[in-house]
Amino acid sequence: MSLPDHIAQKIHALRAALREHNYKYYVLAEPSISDLEFDQQLKALQDLEQAYPEAYDPDSPTQKVGGEINKQFATFEHEFPMLSLGNTYSEAELLEFDKRIQKQLGHTNYQYVCELKFDGLSISLHYDNGQLIRAVTRGDGVKGDVVTDNVKTIQSLNSRLQAPYPEKIELRGEVFMHRPAFDRLNMEREEAGEPLYANPRNVASGTLKLQDSAEVAKRPLDIFLYQLLEHKPTINTHYESLQSIRQWGLPCSNNTQLCNSIQAVFDYIKHWDEARKLLTYDIDGVVVKINDYHQREELGYTAKSPRWAIAYKFKTEAACTPLLSIDYQVGRTGAITPVANLQSVFLLGTTVKRASLHNANEIERLDLRVGDYVYVEKGGEIIPKITGVDLSKRSDQSIKVAFITHCPECGTTLIRQAGEAQHYCPNELNCPPQVIGKIQHFIHRKAMDINGLGDETVELLYQAGLLKSIADLYDLSYEQVIQLDRMADKSSSQLIESIQASKQVPYQRVLFGLGIRYVGETVAKKLAATFKHIDALKAASKEALLAVDEIGERIADSIVEYFQSDLHCQMIERLKAAGLCLENTAEAPVQLSDKLQGKIIVISGVFTQFSRDEIKAMVEQHGGKNAGSISAKTHYVVAGENMGPAKLEKAKQLNIPILSEADFLALIQA
Ligand code: IVH
């Protein structure tokens, strides 16, 4: 029986809508429909798929169990509602808050606890008889999603309390992601030619809502606990409760301070407004709380927030400037990124002229019009972002932005797959920035590392019609190259020599250089270790790919799709014929001991006995892992001469042992 057209269309529309909702929920953490509506649509699709089995599609939202797929968290009603905090940006209002406390209590005999305001998402943890039995998101404040398995992936969080502990407690805190982990995630996305995540908070929030806990474990989250709720209170002050949290072996910030006066609170704020730059995670202010629980009760609550606490938010510098136009950039994977051109404005020490708009959803969300006065902020992000529009300045002549329908570079009609936020230009073979971008990626230092061939020369060779794909590199001759402008005799022969030398580059780097979507440096290493020949990788089924550590649905699908293209396969055959290294011949690294097993080590500075690379190799030979930047997860920093002061400061602040070259050698030889 063939599938009736109207049913096929209905199934197609439902799948598209559900993918879009999944994306909004899991990735953007901004759902646009209720849970009930989502479940109804999912059920409608399940019913249709059951009635028409010929419509089976393994990629349907009904089939996926992991990642950004079905949404099936149980909900839990909070025993104590999860309230928010009143907040202020001004010292004057903070003084008023203090006066109100004084007036209500009728004396000045009170203390504040000042804490950092972590920029993540709040979570409630339930421990019964010392065991974590439930973790619930804030949700709407009354009830939230049960995300226990995901929370259990947080390495710093013990599921079992250290005794002695009360029989039943609830703890609240903030789940967040450290900046280095966030940067690493984004670096991998950049390497894979993917649009970048906006900030660690969005990623943390999206991650906690993933269905697949194995996927969550790959995105390291952290947590600080800042509130204890007891059924039969045994503790009288907040400060003591934080000490208990620590004694139970749970993560609690060390940057909390007891303050005897509002002046001490101001000093704390002043210190952290500056010192926050040295933290490995983002904070957006300071929370000021009354310490004594009886006084808290006396002060009470408004409908939304406690009267005994307030959040002081750091000012993020924003500027307001007209939006002049929007450009559309085409990445090497064909992804289209809209970029706002702004009238120049000075912000936090630099002139800002452009801001990324990410994708069409973002333009829609902001309801942007050319000519609008837009707010630009730098916040924690490197790239300035547009946070809103000053509607009072909108003119009648402003023009609503209509996203382009054709590639600005090659004119091809853009596509946008259901469930994806990004538009793509599908003209992989002939769209100039895609062709040039792919070759530039291939010659990248971490891929083929072809000396004497920079991004500009790639463009020149492309313009001259000599390079249309990476395989063309190996057909280039000295006679062709010397004819180019700016290419002298020496540089031309050097270039040809470097191209020849790149044939020795190991398989894993060639694989990274191919620029397969989502296959960054780390994934390429893992693939090369498992599929020791490119033909084995080409023949690998999705299941075989999924069996590799750290390879999920998204990467597996992308690899399978890559090798389905004849054009890619022909290009790989040409690379093989040219003599590139397309199989793994490397011996496994020699393991000398497990003295550093599980230890994450950062090497920094210049050493006297060994080179930095030699020390890094020693770390691996003794079972350790090298990391590029210091985070709370770092076990040791090995410091040579000239280690940067910021790194040093960060290591000290996180209490990470700093080893000299001699200390390190003693450690592995002990
Ligand atoms: S105490 C009654 N302490 O800020 C509210 N909240 O704007 C108790 N947050 O929902 C919250 N750091 O997600 C508290 N040290 C801290 C915090 C903190 C971050 C978040 C939390 C809360 C939001 C309120």
* Segment 445-500, tens digit of pLDDT: 889 999 888 889 999 999 999 999 999 999 999 999 999 888 889 999 999 999 99
Distance from Cα 435 to the centre of ligand 1, integer Å = 48
Distance CA 259, CA 256 (A): 10
pLDDT at 64 over 80: no
> Could you state, in order of their start, the residue ranges of all structural domains in the chain?
5-63, 75-313, 316-425, 432-578, 600-669
User: CB of 117 closer than 6 A to ligand 1?
Assistant: yes
How high does pLDDT run on average in the chain? 88
Those residues with Cβ within 8 angstroms of residue 663's Cβ, 6 or more apart along the chain or in another chain: 638
* Catalytic-labelled residue, pool 24, 117, 209, 378: 117
**401-418 exposure pattern, b = at least 16 Cβ within 10 A, e = fewer:** bebeeebebbebebeeee
Confidence of residue 237 (pLDDT cuts 50, 70, 90): very high
Task: Average the pLDDT over 654-661 and give the result.
Answer: 89
Backbone angles phi, psi at 550, to 5 degrees: 75, 5
The pLDDT value recorded for residue 68 is: 34
Identify the residue whose C-alpha is closest to ligand 1 atom 17.
117
Task: Tell me the residue type at 235.
Answer: I
For residue 310, CA distances in Å to 97, 248, 276, 286, 440 come to 8, 27, 19, 9, 51
Those residues with Cβ within 8 angstroms of residue 603's Cβ, 6 or more apart along the chain or in another chain: 612, 615, 616, 619, 626, 637, 638, 640
Neighbours of 303 (CB within 10 A): 6
Neighbours of 432 (CB within 10 A): 15
User: CB of 226 closer than 6 A to ligand 1?
Assistant: yes
User: CB of 122 closer than 6 A to ligand 1?
Assistant: yes
Those residues with Cβ within 8 angstroms of residue 25's Cβ, 6 or more apart along the chain or in another chain: 31, 38, 68, 71, 209
Cβ atoms of 264 and 210 within 8 Å: the answer is: no
Identify the residue whose C-alpha is closest to ligand 1 atom 6.
117
Neighbours of 452 (CB within 10 A): 18
Task: Average the pLDDT over 48-63 and give the result.
Answer: 80
* Segment 334-367, tens digit of pLDDT: 999 999 999 999 886 678 899 988 899 889 888 9
Task: Average the pLDDT over 502-526 and give the result.
Answer: 92
CATH fold for domain 432-578? DNA polymerase; domain 1 (1.10.150)
Those residues with Cβ within 8 angstroms of residue 584's Cβ, 6 or more apart along the chain or in another chain: 506, 507, 508, 528, 529, 532, 533
Q: Which atom of ligand 1 is nearest to the CA of 306?
A: 2
CATH fold for domain 5-63? Helix Hairpins (1.10.287)
Task: Average the pLDDT over 104-130 and give the result.
Answer: 96
pLDDT at 67 over 60: no
Distance CA 315, CA 549 (A): 43
List, in sequence order, every beta strand (DSSP E) within 358-404: 369-370, 373-377, 385-389, 399-400
The pLDDT value recorded for residue 286 is: 97
pLDDT at 29 over 70: no
Look at residue 140 and give its three-state secondary structure.
coil
Confidence of residue 120 (pLDDT cuts 50, 70, 90): very high
* Residue 117 known to be catalytic: yes
CATH of 316-425, one of 2.40.50.140, 2.60.120.10, 3.90.1150.10, 3.40.50.300: 2.40.50.140
User: CB of 224 closer than 6 A to ligand 1?
Assistant: no
* Segment 398-435, tens digit of pLDDT: 888 999 999 999 999 999 987 778 999 999 999 999 99
Lowest-pLDDT range, 108-117, 321-330, 552-561?
A: 552-561
* Segment 532-573, tens digit of pLDDT: 999 999 999 999 998 887 788 889 999 999 999 999 999 999
Residue 26 DSSP label? I
The pLDDT value recorded for residue 71 is: 47
User: CB of 118 closer than 6 A to ligand 1?
Assistant: yes
pLDDT at 34 over 70: no
Token representation of residue 416: 């946008």
CATH of 75-313, one of 3.40.50.1000, 3.30.470.30, 3.40.50.720, 3.20.20.70: 3.30.470.30
Distance CA 179, CA 221 (A): 11
Task: Average the pLDDT over 19-36 and give the result.
Answer: 65
For residue 254, CA distances in Å to 114, 251, 629 come to 11, 9, 21
Those residues with Cβ within 8 angstroms of residue 81's Cβ, 6 or more apart along the chain or in another chain: 141, 142
Task: Average the pLDDT over 626-636 and give the result.
Answer: 86
Cβ atoms of 635 and 656 within 8 Å: the answer is: yes
CATH of 600-669, one of 3.40.50.10190, 3.80.30.20, 3.40.30.10, 3.40.1190.20: 3.40.50.10190
Choose which residue among 80, 84, 89 to substitute to test ligand 1 binding: the one with the highest number of ligand atoms within 8 A of its C-beta.
84
User: CB of 281 closer than 6 A to ligand 1?
Assistant: no
